A and B are shown apart, each in its own frame.
Chain A
Amino acid sequence: MAVIEFIDYSMGFQAQDGSVHNLIDRLSMKVEEGRALGIVGESGCGKSMASLSVMRLLPHGAVVQGGQILFEGRDLLQLSEAKIGGIRGNKITMIFQEPMTALNPVLRVGFQIGEALRLHHPDMRRDEVERAVIEALDQVGIPQPRARIHQYPHEFSGGMRQRVMIAMAMINRPALLIADEPTTALDVTIQAQILDIMKQFKQSGGMVVVTHNLGVVAELCEEVVVMYAGCAVERGTVHAIFRHPRHPYTVGLMAAIPTLSSPKTPLKTIAGAVPAIMDFGVGCRFAQRCEHCQSICRTQRPPETWLDEAHVVQCWQACGAAKGDA
C-alpha cells in the first residue's frame, strides 16, 4: 500500500482581489513503503508547496483547490487540526535545508531531539527518553552521543547538525519522511555521508526528497517526479526517467549536468526562467521555453500520457499529438 498518495491535488494562491492563481495543477504521485520519491525542478516550481501541503502547513494566502492527499488511507486535507497535530512530527516528519538555522540555539541538542518523543509519547519515562535520544544520535553516526546531548547546537558542525535533524525526524519512526533539500547546504563529502544515513532509514518507511540536485535523486530515490511551474511534467522510475527522458524540460535538465565523458563544449541551458504564477497561460506551462513548441502547446494543456507502466509524461510532443497539428 502506498504510504502517501496525491490524487489530482491542486492548490494556488489568493491574490489581493480575491482571485485565485493556480500553482500546483492536478498533481498525482505516490510513495510506496520502503521507497523514496524525488521531486525535482527549478526554484518556484511548487516542490516545497507540495511537501508543505502534506504537513498542512501552507503559508498565508495559499488555498487548496481540489484533490486528495491520502495518508494511510485517510485524506490529510480533511483531517481536523487536532488530528493533523498528532500526525505531524510523529507519523510524518520533515528535514530542513539549513542545518545551521533549523535547531533552536538556546536549547540543548538532547532536549530538542527528545521533545518530539515526549510530546507524542507522554507516558515515556525520562530515562527511556534519554536512552532513545542517545540511541538515535548513535544511529546517525554522532560520536560520544552521551556527552553530546548536553551540548548546544553551536557546538556542532553543519554536517553534525544535519545528522541531529535526521535523528530528530526519525526518532518517532515516522511512516513518511519529507526531506526538503537535505544536502544543499552541506559540502560534498558530508553530502555523501548524509545520503548514506538517509538510505538506511528508508527501510522503515517512505521518503519524499525535494531537491534540485539530480545526483541526490539518482543516489537515494527509486522514483522521481519532475515538476515545472506546478505541473508534474514527467514522472516514473529513476531508471526510466534518467535513461529515457521524454519531456523537453527533463531533457534540458539532464543536459545541463556535466559528466566526465561530456565533450568540452558549453553546457546546455534552458533559456528563460520559470514564468510567474500570473503568466502561466492556458496551454503547456513550459511552452514559452520549449524548443519543440507547437501551436497546440500554447492553447491546450497536454494530458498525462502513460508511455509504459513506469513512465508518465505531460507533453504533446511526447504523446505524438503535436505532429499531426504541425
Chain B
Amino acid sequence: MNQRENFARRFARSKSGMLGLIGVAIIVLAGLAAPLLARSPAGYSRDILLGPSAAHLLGTDNLGLDIGLEILWGARTSLYVSAVAVLISVGIGVPLGLVSGYSRSWVGETLDAAVDIFLTLPILPLMIIMAAIMGTSITNVALVIGLFSWPQLAKVCKNATLKISGMQYIEAAVCLGYSRGRILLHHVLRNITGPVLVNITLIMANSVLAESSLSFLGLGDPTAWSWGTILKRAWGNNAVINNPNPWWWWLAPSVCIIVFVVCFNMLGTAINDLLSPKTQA
C-alpha cells in the first residue's frame, strides 16, 4: 500500500505527468461523453465554410458540417483505434516478450528473430496493403495498426524480462519449486509493468498518428468521423493552401492530434521517470 500511495503522491507532484494525465482525461471523457454532449454530425447544412462563431464553435467545412462536432466524434474514433491497437499489441507482444526473454532454448531465439524481422518491416506501405485488402472499416484500421505495433512492445518486454530473469529472486523462485508460468506471471510480469506501461502510452499515441495518416491517405473509414479524415478533406479541397485561408478547417484537427500525442507521451515519460529506480527516493 505504502509504495502505491507513494507513487500517486509523487505522480501528483510531477508537472508534466499531471498535465499529460489531465489532457488524456479530457480527451477520454470527451470521447465517452460525445453522444451526451451533441448529436453526431449528420447531414449537410447551408452554413458552408463559416469561421468560428457561436452557432459553430469551430466553424464549418465546405459541406456545411460542424468541425467542432466532427472533432468531438473523431475523438471516439481515435480512442477506439488506439484501445484496440493496444489490446492487440499487449495480447501478442507481452506474452511473446515474456517467453522470448525467459526461455533460453530455441523457442526464445526463434521468437526473437521473428520480432526482429517484424521490426525491420516498413510499416506504412504494409499498412496500406493490409488496409486495401481488408477494406476500409475503422475496426480494420485498428486491427492493422495493432498488428504492426506489437513488435516494439515485445522487444521492450523481452529486454525487461531478460534483466529481471537474471535476478537472484527469480533463481530463488525456481528453487522454491514454482512453475515457469507462475514465475512469469507473478514474479517477472509484475516487475516489468513500468517499461510495458510506458510503451503502451507510446503505442496509444502512435496508433492515433497512424490512424490519422491512413485516413489522410484515404485508407480510413469515410463513414467514421476521424481527425485524419477532416484533414484529408481539408487538404483535398485546397483549404490548406487557399487564400483566403479557412484556417479553422485544418488547424483544429491538427492541434487535436498533436495534443493527443503529446499528452500520452508526457504521461508515458512521467510514469517512466517515476518508476525508474534512479529517481526513486
State the A residues within 8 Å of B (CB).
Answer: 55, 57, 60, 85-90, 93-94, 96-98, 101-107, 115-116, 119-120, 150-152, 155, 165, 168
Q: How far is the CB of B276 from the nearest CB of chain A, in Å?
A: 13
Say yes or no for B109: interface residue by CB 8 A criterion.
no
Q: Is B137 an interface residue (CB 8 A)?
A: no
**Contacting pair B191 A88 (CB below 8 A):** no
State A55–B172 Cα separation when bound (angstroms): 11
Interface presence of B179 (CB below 8 A): yes
11 contacts between A and B (CB under 8 A): A55-B175, A97-B168, A101-B169, A105-B169, A105-B191, A107-B186, A107-B190, A116-B176, A119-B178, A152-B2, A155-B2
Cβ-defined contact, B177 with A87, below 8 A: yes
Chain B's nearest CB lies how many Å from the CB of A268? 34
Shortest distance from the beta carbon of B3 to any chain A beta carbon, whole Å: 6
Tell whether, in the assembled complex, residue A104 and residue B191 are in contact, meaning their CB atoms are under 8 Å apart: yes
Chain A residues within 8 Å of B179, by CB: 85
B174: A residues at CB distance < 8 A: 57, 88
Chain A residue nearest to B183 in the complex (CB): A104
Query: B233: which A residues are within 8 A, CB to CB?
Result: none
Min CB distance, B17 to chain A, in Å?
A: 20
Cβ-neighbour of B177 out of A89, A96, A98 (below 8 A): A89
A114 shortest CB reach to chain B, Å: 11
Once the chains are docked, how many angstroms separate the CA of A104 from the CA of B176?
13
Question: Is B63's beta carbon under 8 Å from chain A?
Answer: no
Secondary structure type dominating chain A contacts: loop
B56 close to A (CB within 8 Å)? no
- A55→B173 CA distance, assembly (Å): 12
In the docked arrangement, what's the CA distance between A89 and B177, Å?
5
Q: A57-B174, A104-B173, A115-B178 in contact; A150/B1 too (CB < 8 A)?
A: yes
CB distance from B257 to the nearest CB of A (A): 36
Q: Does B104 contact A (CB under 8 A)?
A: yes
Chain B residues near A168 (CB, 8 Å)?
172, 176
Give B residues with C-beta under 8 Å from A: 1-3, 104, 167-169, 171-179, 182, 186-187, 190-191
Among A57, A101, A150, contact of B168 (Cβ-Cβ < 8 Å)? A101
Which residue in A57, A60, A107 is a CB contact (below 8 Å) of B187? A107
How far apart are B275's CB and chain A's nearest CB, in angstroms? 10
Q: Is the CB of B3 within 8 A of A152?
A: yes
Distance between A87 CB and nearest chain B CB, rounded to angstroms: 7
Cross-chain contact A93 with B175 (CB below 8 angstroms): yes
Which residue of B167, B171, B173, B177 contacts A85 across the interface (Cβ within 8 Å)?
B177
Whether A120 touches B177, Cβ cut-off 8 Å, given contacts A96-B171, A101-B169, A152-B2, is yes
B169 pairs with A102, CB closer than 8 A: yes
Is B172 in contact with A102, judged by CB distance below 8 angstroms?
A: yes
Which residues from chain B contact A107 at a C-beta distance below 8 Å? 186-187, 190
Contact of B176 among A106, A119, A151, A155 (CB under 8 A): A119
Most buried by A among B104, B167, B176, B186: B176
- Enumerate chain B residues within 8 angstroms of A155, measured Cβ to Cβ: 2
The listed residue with most A CB atoms (<10 A of its CB), out of B173, B177, B179, is: B177
In the A-B complex, list the 10 residue pairs whose CB atoms are closest, starting with the nearest: A89-B176, A89-B177, A88-B177, A101-B168, A94-B175, A102-B168, A104-B169, A116-B176, A106-B190, A102-B172
Report Cα–Cα, A270/B1, bound state, in Å. Answer: 53
**Contact: A151 with B2, CB < 8 Å?**
yes
CB-based contact B177/A86 at 8 Å: yes
Between B3, B175, B190, the greatest number of chain A beta carbons within 10 A of the residue's beta carbon is seen for: B175
Report if A88-B168 is in contact (Cβ < 8 Å); known contacts: A107-B190, A150-B1, A152-B3: no
B187 touches A104 (CB 8 A): yes
